Amino acid sequence: MRTLTVDLAERSYPIHIGSGLLTQNQLFAPHIVGRKVAIVSNTTVAPLYLRQLREALSDYEVSEIILPDGESYKNWETLQLIFDGLLADKHDRKTTLIALGGGVIGDMTGFAAACYQRGVNFIQVPTTLLSQVDSSVGGKTGINHPLGKNMVGAFYQPQAVIIDIETLHTLAVRELSAGLAEVIKYGLICDEPFLTWLEQHMVSICALDPFALMETIERSCAAKALVVSADERESGVRATLNLGHTFGHAIETEQGYGVWLHGEAVSAGTVMALEMSKQLGWLTEKQRDRGIGLLARAGLPIVPPKAMTAAMFLAHMSVDKKVLDGQLRLVLLRALGQALVTSDYPAATLDSVLNADYSMITANI
């Protein structure tokens, strides 16, 4: 097992990464304050892993809240099902919520924990690669709105993140690839040597080699923990973690939540950010293509939806959370491994990027 720490003074918490962690009571016990625990999961994950987790928590009064599976259910109606379950089982302020599932379950459970009786403890147990390397760490919680992704939520940190890499063996190939979009992001924004390592080990990662998975998850979590520790509420450097997300969220919202997986949309959005960085003269064509090539090797889409027009992108991007005082800020790359957040770019460049023929740009990747 490997352990990292998200350093937030008195609210610091550990990230445990290893095999077979779901059954290890000693990892959960220090973060459970009362006798009652509510496990929130979904109809896909619960049949696979709920029994193991319940056995590890046999010393506690455990209730289960099982939600429908999918991004399309990340909404007010499904969030209410969590509150319904907590109230029906008379959970109090010493209750601990445990999120057992991917990013949707983690985000909604965290948001429910932030709201229920004005705040109760929760533990993240992410079961997808994307949630293990990204959404479970950092305290971003929330739900989607029909007009924008993750527009309603709260910053609310977990007590611990417990990552059992064995859960990846039941993950669909498409979901594994979606997680790799966030992994590759870390190399692009702040760790160019990690890009080289990923290029060398992508085959092993996709084959679920334990060493490759542990290294991938640890390096990704370490990068995110460092950024979150420096900027918990995204007032500065943390926004660089959103490389590709402004374009990607527009794709998710326009296409309908769940049609494109989050990581798939982020991948296509990252290609657009790479292209814009190239058009601004910050990246060479070779550097742009290096990033695109790694996304392609991970099995990710590298061409945005052909039916999406520039007007469609702009309509959704105008309500992005990085818009300040009417200015659309984008995460771009000054160099591979060096990201920035800026609204200082020619409107003509953004228009060119939104209207580019990505089939031609990626033809030789």
Residues 63 and 196 in one domain: no
Whether 182 is catalytic is yes
- 355 is known as an active-site residue: no
User: Where does a domain end: 132, 151, 170?
Assistant: 170
Give the model's pLDDT for residue 315.
94
Amino acid 310: pLDDT? 97
Q: Are strands 36-42 and 61-67 parallel, antiparallel or unpaired?
A: parallel
How many domains are there within the chain?
Answer: 2
User: How much is the pLDDT for 323?
Assistant: 78
**Residue 262 annotated to the active site:** yes
Kindly name the residue from 215, 234, 264, 275 that is annotated as catalytic. 234
Crossing angle between the packed helical segments 192-206 and 210-230, to the nearest 10 degrees: 140
Domain that holds residue 224: 173-361
Residue 31 annotated to the active site:
no
* Residue 235, pLDDT score: 86
**According to the model, what pLDDT value does residue 198 have?**
98
Residues 217 and 236 in one domain: yes
Q: Based on the fold, state whether residues 62 and 110 are members of the same structural domain.
A: yes
Whether 221 contacts 15, CB under 8 Å: yes
CA–CA distance, 365 with 185 (Å, rounded to integer): 18
> Any idea what the CATH number is for the domain that residue 216 is in?
1.20.1090.10
The answer on pLDDT for 227 being more than 90 is yes
What mean pLDDT is predicted for residues 275-297?
Answer: 98
- Judgement on whether residues 106 and 242 belong to the same structural domain of the protein: no
From 36, 91, 149, 224, active-site residue: 224
Residue 238 is among the residues annotated as catalytic for this protein: yes
Q: What is the mean pLDDT of the chain?
A: 97
Told to judge if 118 belongs to the known catalytic residues of this protein, a careful annotator would answer yes
103 CB burial (10 A radius; 0-12, 13-18, 19+): buried
Q: Is the pLDDT of residue 74 over 90?
A: yes
Distance between alpha carbon 45 and the CA centroid of its chain, in Å?
A: 17
The pLDDT assigned to 320 comes to 82
**234 classed as catalytic:** yes
Same domain, 220 and 242: yes
Q: pLDDT tens digits, residue range 84-137?
A: 999 999 999 999 999 999 999 999 999 999 999 999 999 999 999 999 999 999
Q: Which of 170, 196, 223 is the last residue of a domain?
A: 170
Q: In this structure, are 6 and 154 located in the same domain?
A: yes
Asked whether residue 53 falls in the same domain as residue 135, the answer is: yes
pLDDT in tens, 206-222: 999 999 999 999 999 99
Please check the confidence at residue 344 and state whether its pLDDT lies above 80. Answer: yes
Q: Answer yes or no: do 194 and 215 share one domain.
A: yes
Same domain, 166 and 194: no
90 is catalytic: no
Judgement on whether residues 247 and 143 belong to the same structural domain of the protein: no
- Indicate which residue of 166, 182, 215, 254 is catalytic: 182
Residue 175 has pLDDT above 80, yes or no: yes
Share of the chain above pLDDT 90, in %: 96
Residue 324 predicted with pLDDT over 80: no
